[in-house]
Chains A and B, each alone.
Chain A
Amino acid sequence: MIRFLAIARAEMRILQRNRWLLMATVIMVLFALALTFAGSAPTGSLGVDMLTVSVASMTTLSVYLAPLLALMISFDAVAGETDRGSLGLLLSYPAGRGEVLLGKFAAHLAALAFAMLIGFGSAGAVAAWFGGAGAESLIALGRLIATSIILGAVFLTLGYLVSSLASSATAAAGMSAGLWLIFVVLYDLGLLGAVVVDEGGVFTRQIFPWVMVANPADAFRLWNVAASDGVALTSGMTGVAQALPAWAAPLSLLLWPFLGFAAARAAFRRVEP
Chain B
Amino acid sequence: MTDNILKIEGLCKDRGKTRVLHDVSLTVSPGERVALLGHNGAGKSTLIKAVLGLIPIEGGSISVASHRPGKGAARSATAFLPEAVSFHPALTGREQLSLFARLSGERADVPGLLERVGLADALDRRIGTYSKGMRQRLGLAQVLLGHPKVALLDEPTSGLDPISRQDLYAIIDELAAGGCAVLIASHALTEVEARTDRIAIMSKGHLVANDTLTGLSAKAGLKTRLRVRAAQDADAIAAQIGGSRINGASVEILCTPDQKMIELRRIAAMGDAVADVDITPPRLEDLYRHYAREELK
| Residue interface mask B75-103, A partner, CB < 8 A = 1 | 11011101011111011000110011011
- Closest A residue to B55 by beta carbon equals A272
Contact B90 A95 (CB under 8 A): no
| Residue interface mask B44-83, A partner, CB < 8 A = 1 | 0000010010110000000000000000100110111010
Contact B78 A92 (CB under 8 A): yes
Given the contacts A88-B52, A88-B80, A6 and B91 also touching, CB distance less than 8 Å = no
A266 in contact (CB, < 8 A): no
- Closest B residue to A17 by beta carbon equals B90
**In the complex, A9→B80 CA distance in Å?**
23
**In the complex, A90→B139 CA distance in Å?**
11
Contact A94 B80 (CB under 8 A): no
Please, which residues of chain B bring their CB within 8 A of the CB of A13?
Answer: 90-91, 95
Q: What's the tally of chain B residues with a CB closer than 8 Å to chain A? A: 29
Given the contacts A10-B91, A94-B72, A89 and B80 also touching, CB distance less than 8 Å = yes
Q: How far is the CB of A8 from chain B (nearest CB, A)?
A: 10
Contact B90 A89 (CB under 8 A): no
Please, which residues of chain A bring their CB within 8 A of the CB of B54?
Answer: 88, 91-92, 272-273
Please, which residues of chain B bring their CB within 8 A of the CB of A84?
Answer: 86, 88
Contact B86 A95 (CB under 8 A): no
Contact A86 B78 (CB under 8 A): no
Contact A92 B105 (CB under 8 A): no
Given the contacts A6-B99, A85-B82, A88-B52, A93 and B75 also touching, CB distance less than 8 Å = yes
Contact B99 A88 (CB under 8 A): no
| Residue interface mask A74-103, B partner, CB < 8 A = 1 | 000000000011101111111110000000
Q: What's the tally of chain A residues with a CB closer than 8 Å to chain B? A: 24
Q: How far is the CB of B148 from chain A (nearest CB, A)?
A: 10
Query: Mostly helix, strand, loop or mixed at chain B's interface?
Result: mixed
A14 in contact (CB, < 8 A): yes
**In the complex, A22→B80 CA distance in Å?**
35
B104 in contact (CB, < 8 A): yes
Given the contacts A13-B91, A91-B54, A272-B54, A85 and B103 also touching, CB distance less than 8 Å = no
Q: How far is the CB of A108 from chain B (nearest CB, A)?
A: 14
**In the complex, A10→B103 CA distance in Å?**
11
Partner of B80, one of A7, A17, A92: A92
Contact B105 A2 (CB under 8 A): yes
**In the complex, A92→B85 CA distance in Å?**
13
Partner of A94, one of B75, B86, B99, B126: B75
A3 in contact (CB, < 8 A): yes
A18 in contact (CB, < 8 A): yes
Q: How far is the CB of B121 from chain A (nearest CB, A)?
A: 20
Please, which residues of chain B bring their CB within 8 A of the CB of A3?
Answer: 102-103, 105
Q: How far is the CB of B172 from chain A (nearest CB, A)?
A: 18
**In the complex, A2→B95 CA distance in Å?**
16
Q: How far is the CB of A161 from chain B (nearest CB, A)?
A: 20
**In the complex, A247→B68 CA distance in Å?**
46
Partner of B86, one of A9, A14, A86, A91: A86
Partner of A86, one of B76, B87, B105: B87
Q: How far is the CB of A63 from chain B (nearest CB, A)?
A: 31
**In the complex, A96→B96 CA distance in Å?**
18
B131-182 with Cβ < 8 A to chain A: 139, 142
Query: Given A86-B85, A93-B75, 12 other A-B contacts at CB below 8 A?
Result: A3-B102, A7-B99, A9-B99, A10-B88, A10-B99, A84-B86, A90-B103, A91-B54, A92-B75, A92-B78, A93-B100, A272-B55
Interface residue ranges, A against B (CB under 8 Å): 2-3, 6-7, 9-10, 13-14, 17-18, 84-86, 88-96, 272-273
Interface residue ranges, B against A (CB under 8 Å): 49, 52, 54-55, 72, 75-76, 78-80, 82, 84-88, 90-91, 95-96, 99-100, 102-105, 126, 139, 142
4 tightest A-B CB contacts, nearest first = A6-B102, A17-B90, A92-B80, A93-B103
> Would you mind naming 16 contact pairs between A and B with Cβ atoms under 8 Å apart?
A3-B102, A10-B91, A10-B95, A10-B96, A13-B90, A14-B90, A17-B90, A17-B126, A84-B86, A85-B86, A88-B82, A89-B80, A91-B52, A93-B75, A94-B76, A272-B49
